[in-house]
DNA sequence: CGCCTCTTTGAGCTCAATCAAGGTGTGTGG
DNA sequence: CCACACACCTTGATTGAGCTCAAAGAGGCG
C-alpha cells in the first residue's frame, strides 16, 4: 500500500466526496494522493504563484481561491473563483517544463491539497475515467469563459447578475435560500468582470435597495433569485 | 486494416502533417479516421450547428471556420477562429448526450474532416499521447480566452492589435512578411472582440494610414509587426 | 489608536456605441 | 450587359454607460 501523509489520510473521506472522484475506491484514492500534502492558507495568502515552476497541482479542499493575473501596470484580473472540489494547475501538468499560468490567492481561510506533478504523470494518467473527469471540468470552465465572452456587449448589471448566479449555483442546486459560498468583495467582482469597483457598487446597491440581494457578514445572499435571473436575461 | 473513405485516404499526408498527430504512424492514423468523411464548405456555409446532437467532431483541413454563438437578439459573438489543424467539438465528445456548444461557419472555401464520435470514444481515447495533445490544444485556447479576459479594460486598439498578432502567429513563426492566414472582415474582428464595426474600422484605418497594416484581396497584411506589438503593449 | 481594506456617493469626463448616410466591390438574374 | 441586391467599408455627429477622481464613513486588526 502507498504511504501517504497522515493529515492527508484523515481527509480522504472529504476528498472522496468530490464528484471528480466518483467511483474511486479508497485504495485508488490513496494511490492518487501519493506525496500529497495539505497547505492551510489564511486570507489573501498565495498558494501557487504565476511564473514559478509548477512542481505540484492543487485540489481545493475548503474555502476558496481566486486565480489572478497581474498586468504590468499592477491591475489585477481575476480569471476564476476556485471552490472546493476544483482543480488548480492541471492545465499545465502535461507540459514539459510547466510554470503556473496564474497566481492562486486564498479568499478567507482555505485548504489546498498539493499533489506532486510526478504523481499526476505516473498515476493520474493511468485512470482514463479521471482524465475524462478533468477534461469535463476544464470544459465547464471553458464554457464559462466563453459565456462571459459572449456577454461582452451586455450592460454591466447583466454581467454581475450572471456572475452571482454562476457562483451560487456551484454549491446548492436548490432554488431557495441562495447565497454565495465564498467571501467575495465588490472589488473582486469588478476585477473578475473587467469593470470598476464603483460601477459594480452602483449596480449592487440598487439591488440592495430593492431587496434583491443583501450583504451580511461579508457574505452575499441572493434574496430574490428570480429577479436576478430576470436581470441576467436582459439582453435587449 | 481499417477501411476508410478513399478521399480521406488521399488526405492522410495532409492530416499527418498537423502537429496534433506528431509521431503517429500511417496505420494508427487510418484507425483514427475510421468512418470519417471530408466536408467541403463554401463561404459562410455552416458545418456544425449549435444545439444539434454532436455525432461527429471535426478537424479543420484547409481554409478557416469561425466558431459562433448567436444571442437571443441576433447579435453574433465569435468565440474562436479555427485554422487548419484545429479540432472542433472535442470539448463535448466526452459528454453522454453531446450537443454542439457553438456553430462553426466557413470563412471562404474550407474543408473539414468529420470524424464520428464513436471513433473518438473507441479509438482516440486509446492513445494517451493524443489525449495529451488535445489537452494541450485546449489549454492553448483556454489561455487565449484568459488573455482576452485580462485585456477587458484595455483600449480597443490594444485588443485589435493582440487579436491580429495572435492569429498571424498561428501560421508563420517568422517575424517577416506577416499576414493573416484567413479572410477576416472588420465586422468579424468586432464580433470577436465585442466591439462595434465602426470602432474597429476607426482603429484600423489609422493603422492603414500609417502603413502599419494593409488590406489587399480581402487579406490583411501586417506591414509593421513591431509597431503592432508596441500597440499591443500599450497597457498604461 | 492608527492602519488598512472595503464600501459608498457625487461630479465630471471619455471612449466607444449608436445613428445616419454614402461609397465600393462582387455576384446574380433579367 | 446592365441593374439590382447584398455584404463590406468608411466617415461624421451625437450620446451615454461606465471610468476616473475625490472624499469620506465603516468595520477589523495588530
- Read off the pLDDT of each residue in A43-55 and give the average, rounded to a whole number: 95
What was the pLDDT predicted at B226? 74
- Read off the pLDDT of each residue in A121-137 and give the average, rounded to a whole number: 88
- Read off the pLDDT of each residue in B22-45 and give the average, rounded to a whole number: 92
- State the Cα–Cα distance between residues B198 and A15, nearest whole angstrom: 52
- Read off the pLDDT of each residue in A135-143 and give the average, rounded to a whole number: 89
- Read off the pLDDT of each residue in B221-227 and give the average, rounded to a whole number: 76
- Read off the pLDDT of each residue in B29-45 and give the average, rounded to a whole number: 94
Per the model's pLDDT, the better-predicted residue between A188 and A222 turns out to be A188
B122-147: per-residue pLDDT in tens?
Answer: 999 888 888 888 888 988 899 899 99
pLDDT band of A160, cuts 50, 70, 90 = very high
**CB-CB under 8 Å, A146 with B102:** yes
- Read off the pLDDT of each residue in A137-144 and give the average, rounded to a whole number: 90
Minimal CA–CA distance to B105: which of B75, B69, B159?
B69
* CA–centroid distance for B8 within its chain: 21
Distances from the Cα of A30 to the Cαs of A13, A87, A114, A117, in angstroms? Answer: 11, 17, 14, 15
What was the pLDDT predicted at A91? 87
Q: Which residues pair with B110 in a beta bridge?
A: B41
Element (DSSP H or E) covering residue A6: helix A6-16
- Read off the pLDDT of each residue in A90-102 and give the average, rounded to a whole number: 90
pLDDT band of A176, cuts 50, 70, 90 = low
CB < 7 Å to strand D — which of 129-158 in chain A? 155-157
Q: Is A132 on the interface with B (CB under 8 A)?
A: yes
Report the range of poorest mean pLDDT among A109-113, A135-139, B166-170, B221-225. Answer: B221-225
* C-alpha cell of residue B117: 464520435
Give percent above pLDDT 90 in chain B: 63
- Read off the pLDDT of each residue in B179-202 and give the average, rounded to a whole number: 94
What was the pLDDT predicted at B17? 93
- State the Cα–Cα distance between residues A22 and A95, nearest whole angstrom: 26
Q: Is A235 on the interface with B (CB under 8 A)?
A: yes
Q: Is B235 on the interface with A (CB under 8 A)?
A: yes
User: In angstroms, what separates the C-alpha of A185 from chain B's closest C-alpha?
Assistant: 19
What was the pLDDT predicted at B236? 40
Does residue A35 come out as left (phi exceeding 0), alpha (psi in the -120 to 50 range) or beta?
A: left
A8-41: per-residue pLDDT in tens?
Answer: 999 999 999 999 998 899 999 999 999 999 999 9
Model-level pTM? 0.91
Does pLDDT of A68 surpass 90?
yes
Does pLDDT of B217 surpass 80?
no
User: In angstroms, what separates the C-alpha of A36 from chain B's closest C-alpha?
Assistant: 23
Chain C footprint bases within 7 A of protein beta carbons = 5-11, 15-20
CB-nearest to A194 from B73, B153, B233 is: B153
B70-124: per-residue pLDDT in tens?
Answer: 877 778 999 999 999 999 999 888 888 999 999 999 999 999 999 999 999 999 9
Which of A177-186, B100-109, B165-174, B219-228 is most confident?
Answer: B100-109
**CB-CB under 8 Å, A95 with B71:** no
Amino acid at each position: 500500500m502507498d504511504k501517504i501523509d497522515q493529515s492527508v489520510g484523515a481527509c480522504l473521506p472529504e476528498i472522496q466526496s468530490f464528484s471528480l472522484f466518483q467511483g474511486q475506491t479508497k485504495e485508488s484514492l490513496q494511490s492518487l494522493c501519493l506525496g500529497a500534502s495539505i497547505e492551510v492558507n489564511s486570507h489573501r495568502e498565495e498558494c501557487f504563484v504565476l511564473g514559478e515552476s509548477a512542481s505540484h497541482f492543487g485540489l481545493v479542499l475548503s474555502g476558496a481561491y481566486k486565480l489572478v493575473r497581474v498586468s504590468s501596470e499592477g491591475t489585477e484580473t481575476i480569471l476564476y473563483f476556485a471552490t472546493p472540489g476544483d482543480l488548480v494547475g492541471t492545465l499545465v501538468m502535461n507540459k514539459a517544463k510547466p510554470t503556473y499560468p496564474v497566481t492562486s490567492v486564498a479568499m478567507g481561510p482555505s485548504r489546498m491539497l498539493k499533489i506532486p506533478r510526478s504523481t499526476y504523470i505516473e498515476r493520474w494518467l493511468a485512470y482514463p475515467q479521471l482524465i475524462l473527469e478533468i477534461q469535463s471540468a476544464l470544459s465547464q470552465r471553458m464554457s464559462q469563459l466563453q459565456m462571459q465572452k459572449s456577454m461582452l456587449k451586455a450592460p454591466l448589471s447583466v454581467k454581475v447578475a450572471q456572475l452571482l448566479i454562476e457562483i451560487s449555483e456551484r454549491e446548492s442546486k436548490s432554488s431557495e435560500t441562495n447565497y454565495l459560498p465564498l467571501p467575495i468583495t465588490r472589488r473582486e467582482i469588478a476585477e473578475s468582470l473587467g469593470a470598476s469597483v464603483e460601477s459594480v457598487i452602483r449596480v449592487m446597491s440598487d439591488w440592495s435597495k430593492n431587496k434583491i440581494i443583501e450583504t451580511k457578514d461579508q457574505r452575499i445572499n441572493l434574496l430574490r433569485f428570480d429577479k436576478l435571473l430576470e436581470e441576467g436575461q436582459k439582453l435587449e
